[in-house]
Amino acid sequence: MPSVKQFQVTFDCAEPEQVARFWCEALGYVVPPPPDGFASWADFDRSLPAEEQGSAFACVDPSGVGPRLFFQRVPEGKVVKNRVHLDVRVGTGLVGEERLAALEAECARLIPLGAVRGLLQVADEVNESCLGMQDIEGNEFCLD
Any domain includes 137: yes
pLDDT band (50, 70, 90) for residue 67: very high
Residues 67, 15, single domain; the answer is yes
Please count the structural domains in the chain. Answer: 2
* 94 belongs to a structural domain: yes
User: What is the reported pLDDT for 121?
Assistant: 93
pLDDT at 1 over 90: no
Residue 133 has pLDDT above 90, yes or no: yes
Give 29-60 pLDDT, tens digit per residue: 999 999 999 999 999 999 999 999 999 999 99
The reported pTM is 0.90
**Residue 102 counted as domain residue:** yes
pLDDT-based confidence at residue 18 (cuts at 50, 70, 90): very high
Examine the fold and report which residue of 20, 47, 73 is the final residue of a domain before the chain moves on: 73
Q: Is 109 found in the same domain as 61?
A: no
- What's the pLDDT tens digit per position in 105-114? 999 999 999 9
Query: Comparing 68 with 84, which gets the higher pLDDT?
Result: 68
Residue 52 lies inside a defined structural domain of this protein: yes
Write out the chain in H/E/C secondary structure.
Answer: CCCCCCCEEEEEECCHHHHHHHHHHHHCCECCCCCCCCCCHHHHHHCCCHHHCCCEEEEECCCCCCCEEEEEECCCCCCCCCCCCEEECCCCCCCHHHHHHHHHHHHHHHHHHCCEEEEEECCCCCCCCEEEEECCCCCEEEEC
Q: Which domain does 64 fall in, by range?
A: 8-73
